[in-house]
Amino acid sequence: MSDRLVLALDIGGTNARGEVLDVRLGAPLVRADLPTPEQDGEATIATIESLCRLLLAGLSETDRARVQAVGLAVPGIIDAETGVVRLASNLGWSDEPVAARLSALLGLEVVLHHDVTAAGLAEHRLGAGAGAPDLLAVFIGTGMAALVVTGGEVVSGGLHQAGEIGHMPVEQGGRPCPCGQTGCLEMYASARAIGRAYGAVTGDVSATSLDVVTALGTDPRADAVWSEAMDWLAHGLLGPITLLSPVRIVLGGGLSASGAVLVDALRTRLDALSHVAAVPEIVTASLGQRAGVLGSGLATFAAIERTQLV
């Protein structure tokens, strides 16, 4: 398997990233990225196809012949066995046979992965979660989801949907979520939600969570938006912490770029809220934006080894 290559993709709500990787998962042979269309399923399929063709175009003819599969990490509710995305509201997919459609377009086997499972797997094996047998890796970006590791094993759940922490309702009758529920955690504490909340009070519709973090301490409106979001985040995480008792929480995704500002705010609130569960160590992810791509590569090479994809 050492001579094989994969196209490892991580499709987020904002950006679609891809790398051509060998089994060592070192520096990519080729790297490319494209913006992700917002809630447009057909445009997202076209974007992924274009991204794959960009990656293939950067390879020599010899290396193109070594590509065995596409690893496709996407958000939402997925059925990895059938390659169907049951729901990815941020990408505009509902019961979409994404793997089969892309395989037909590209002439390559497409292996579907959950984006956070992939990124969490990379952090667990290679990054900030290494050495922690019981881990909660929470990725906060356009949406929110988590990887759960217990006893050193990734928990997928009996219905293969474990970790959808962003869609845990935290407020009865709360804000409507694109998933169809109301009061989901990601509507209050995701990077997108924080940016939108700041935009609502400043009038800047392009405001982002980074703008909020940058303005902390100088703009009371940013302070208030951040404080409310951190309250919701701690409230949402207290249940999983109490249930699972992880030894470490790894915070990843775009919001983790705020570093100690995020870790300290969450730690302070969890210490105040929790009267039963021990509050675990909290760290930020160490693999950055490559986590999802590396995890997609890891999981795809594992699938090749299991099934001998050709």
In a shared domain, residues 181 and 275? yes
Same domain (yes/no): 75, 134: no
Angle, CA of 310, 160 and 164, to the nearest 5°:
120
Residue with tokens 């984006």: 115
Q: Give the relative orientation of helices 115-126 and 291-307 as an angle to the nearest 10 degrees.
A: 90
Q: Which of these, 301, 302, 305, lies nearest to 20 by C-alpha position?
A: 301
pLDDT of residue 296: 97
The residues that bridge with 111 in the sheet, in sequence order, are: 71
One domain, residues 170 and 200: yes
The radius of gyration of the chain from alpha carbons, rounded to an integer in Å, stands at 19
At residue 54, φ and ψ (nearest 5 deg) are: -60, -45
Decide if 175 is inside a domain: yes
Is position 98 within any domain? Answer: yes
301 and 271 in a common domain: no
How far apart, in whole angstroms, are the C-alpha atoms of residue 280 and residue 237? 11
Residue 140 lies in a domain: yes
Within this chain, do residues 174 and 273 fall inside the same structural domain, yes or no?
yes
**How many domains are there within the chain?**
2
Do 140 and 240 fall within a single domain? yes
240 plus 139 within the same structural domain: yes
For position 210, what pLDDT does the model report? Answer: 95
pLDDT tens sequence for the chain (310 residues): 568 999 999 998 889 999 999 999 999 999 999 999 988 999 999 999 999 999 999 999 999 999 999 999 998 888 988 999 998 887 999 999 999 999 999 999 999 999 889 999 999 999 999 999 999 999 998 889 999 999 999 998 877 778 989 999 999 999 999 888 999 999 999 999 999 999 999 999 999 999 999 999 999 999 999 999 999 999 999 999 999 999 999 999 889 999 999 999 999 999 999 999 999 999 999 998 899 999 999 999 999 988 764 4
Find tokens 């990379």 and name the residue: 122
Is residue 39 within 8 Å of 178, Cβ to Cβ? yes
Q: What is the enclosing helix (H) or strand (E) of 11?
A: strand 5-11
- Which H or E element spans position 306? helix 291-307
Q: What is the pLDDT of residue 76?
A: 81
The predicted pLDDT at position 310 comes to: 45
pLDDT at 308: 64
Kindly state whether residues 134 and 245 are assigned to the same domain.
yes
- Tell me, yes or no, whether 86 lies in a domain: yes
Residues 102 and 218 in one domain: no
CB distance 282 to 246 below 8 Å: no
Nearest to 211 by CA among 255, 175, 267, 250: 255
Q: Evaluate whether residue 23 is within a structural domain.
A: yes
Give the range of the structural domain holding residue 15, as residue numbers without chain letter.
Answer: 5-114+289-307
Q: Are residues 103 and 189 in the same domain?
A: no
Residue 268 — φ and ψ, nearest 5°? Answer: -60, -45
Q: Is residue 123 part of a domain?
A: no
User: What are the φ and ψ backbone dihedral angles of 151, each rounded to 5 degrees?
Assistant: 60, 30
Strand ranges, E, within 12-79: 15-22, 30-35, 67-74, 77-79
Asked whether residue 132 falls in the same domain as residue 280, the answer is yes
Whether 121 is covered by a domain: the verdict is no
Are both 109 and 193 inside the same structural domain? no
Q: Is residue 122 part of a domain?
A: no
- pLDDT computed for residue 291 by the predictor: 93
CATH number for the domain spanning 32: value is: 3.30.420.40
pTM: 0.86
